[in-house]
Amino acid sequence: MLAPSGGRGAERASTARTPGVSVVIVNWNAGAALAKCLASVAGDDGCEVILVDNGSSDGSTDAARDRYRDVAVLPMGRNLGFGAGANHGAERARGEVVVFLNPDACLLPGALRTLVDALLLTPGAGIAGGGLMDERGRWQPAAARFGPLRHLVLDTTVGRLPARRRRVPYPVDWVYGTFLAVRRDLFRHLGGFDARYFMYGEDLDLCYRAACQGMRTIHVPQARAIHVGSLSARARFGAEREAEVVKGEMRFYAARRGAHELRLFRFAASCKFGLKAAWAVVRGRRTTAAIYGRVLRACVAFDPSRETG
């Protein structure tokens, strides 16, 4: 359990037994959102919290260190990206289950235990992802499909309508790293996240490699977190964020699924986002059109020889 500095939680830290759950938070200039994230974890007894700082310059990690002495802070000195930073945190983790939580996400009461219990009680499950919503309580996607066409066609607003009605854990291809639990022994067996993904695609890649080992990934809708929305990513990439998401997916297809599926993904994504850009122009939404245009250019310019070393 996290406690503000000077409280009894700090006194218990040195004598607490090895926790069953380790929460790893990778921070890069998340600002005030980080404090809210840590506060949302504070009610879970026996939970180890590891804060990986990827060279933040906004004082958010320093403030967290001062307020929560139970938190183990790992300074990286520079921005290693999410995957590499998360791996450092997982190396320090002592829990049977490692939970990765974005610093711009806040857990609802009971969410952590609900996610971990579902993972441990589901036969064959190695990874579990929680449900996401925005600050107004609106549903956000948190899981997706393997395969270029299944992903680009079915992981859309219409294709995800059945998922909005789900209330119990169910199997999926992969879950978002925003709020993700994984068995520690599986994570280490897989070698952690592939650090070639600076940001985006590492969660897809991890779930795929787990599936290749015969381990299931499940989505747990009732383990809910409020996700403010890619604060660090937008600070780093700005208007290029959506293009970076697609680049991450192309890196996955280049590394794991072969040239044919990569070509199919690039073609289908180019058609999809090209049409979206054109429709946005027709509707007079220039900013949206520019975003989709950047995604289209990323699809065309992607060079797999530079991404799979």
DSSP symbol at 20: S
What Rg value do the Cα atoms of the chain yield, rounded? 19
Per-residue pLDDT reduced to its tens digit, 134-154: 999 999 999 999 999 999 999
**pTM for this entry:** 0.89
3 versus 205: the higher-pLDDT residue is 205
Tokens 């027709």 correspond to 282
Structure tokens at 212: 């290749």
Instruction: Give mean pLDDT, residues 18-47.
Output: 87
Per-residue pLDDT reduced to its tens digit, 55-112: 999 999 999 999 988 899 999 999 999 999 999 999 999 999 999 999 999 999 999 9
pLDDT surpassing 70 at residue 224:
yes
| Cα four-point dihedral sign 150, 141, 169, 128 | positive
Measure the CA–CA gap between 78 and 109, rounded to whole angstroms: 33
Q: What is the pLDDT of residue 228?
A: 86
Task: Please measure the distance between the N-terminal and C-terminal CA atoms of the chain and give it in whole angstroms.
Answer: 41
Confidence category of residue 240, pLDDT binned at 50, 70, 90? confident
> What is the residue-averaged pLDDT of the chain?
89
239 versus 232: the higher-pLDDT residue is 239
Structure tokens at 60: 């958010």
CB 82 within 8 A of CB 195: no
Give strand pairing partners of 21. 47, 97
Q: Looking at the chain, how many residues does it have?
A: 309
Give the relative orientation of helices 286-301 and 241-252 as an angle to the nearest 10 degrees.
30
Tokens 């289950």 correspond to 97
3-state DSSP assignment of residue 181: strand
Tokens 């044919």 correspond to 260
DSSP 231-263: HHHHHHHGGGHHHHHHHHHHHHIIIII-HHHHH
Measure the CA–CA gap between 50 and 72, rounded to whole angstroms: 5
Instruction: Give mean pLDDT, residues 186-214.
Output: 96
pLDDT surpassing 90 at residue 232:
no
pLDDT surpassing 60 at residue 53:
yes
According to DSSP, the β-strands at 216-227 and 170-172 are: antiparallel
Structure tokens at 12: 């218990």
Q: Burial of 216 by CB count in 10 Å (0-12 exposed, 13-18 middle, 19+ buried)?
A: middle
What distances in angstroms separate CA 153 from CA 1, 144, 148, 192, 245, one per listed residue?
43, 11, 8, 29, 16
Please state, for a pLDDT cut of 90, what percent of the chain lies above it: 80
Confidence category of residue 258, pLDDT binned at 50, 70, 90? confident
Q: What is the pLDDT of residue 306?
A: 73
